[in-house]
Amino acid sequence: MHRAHWVFSILSTDMRVSDTLAVVASLQFGLAGPLDCHSYALRGPGGLVLIDAGAGTHTHQILKNVAADMPMGSVAALILTHAHMDHCGGAAAIREETGCVVIAPQPSKPIIEVGDEEASGLRKAREQGVYPSETHLASCKIDAAVIDGEVFSAAGLEFKAFHVRGHSPDAFCYFTRALGSPWLFSGDVVFYGGVLGVINADGSGMEGYRADLHKLSGLGIEGLFPGHGLFTLRGGQRHIDSALRQIESGFLGRQIGQEPL
Q: How many domains is the chain partitioned into structurally?
A: 1
Model pLDDT, residue 101: 98
> Quick one: pLDDT at residue 4?
36
Query: Does 258 reside within a domain?
Result: no
Residue ranges making up the domain that contains 143: 16-248
Whether residue 206 lies inside any domain: the answer is yes
Q: What confidence score (pLDDT) does residue 82 get? A: 98
Please report whether residue 187 resides in a domain.
Answer: yes
pTM, two decimals, is 0.93
How much is the mean pLDDT over the chain?
A: 92
Mind listing the pLDDT tens digit for each residue in 28-82?
A: 999 999 999 999 999 999 999 999 999 999 999 999 999 999 998 899 999 999 9
CATH of the domain at 194: 3.60.15.10
Instruction: Kindly state whether residue 144 falls inside one of the protein's structural domains.
Output: yes
At 259 the pLDDT is: 62
Residue 4, in any domain of the structure: no
CA distance 53 to 84: 10
Is residue 257 assigned to a domain?
no
d(Cα 261, Cα 255) in Å, to the nearest integer?
10
In a domain, 6, yes or no: no
pLDDT of residue 155: 97
Domain membership flag for residue 236: yes
- What are the pLDDT digits (tens) for 153-179? 999 999 999 999 999 999 999 999 988
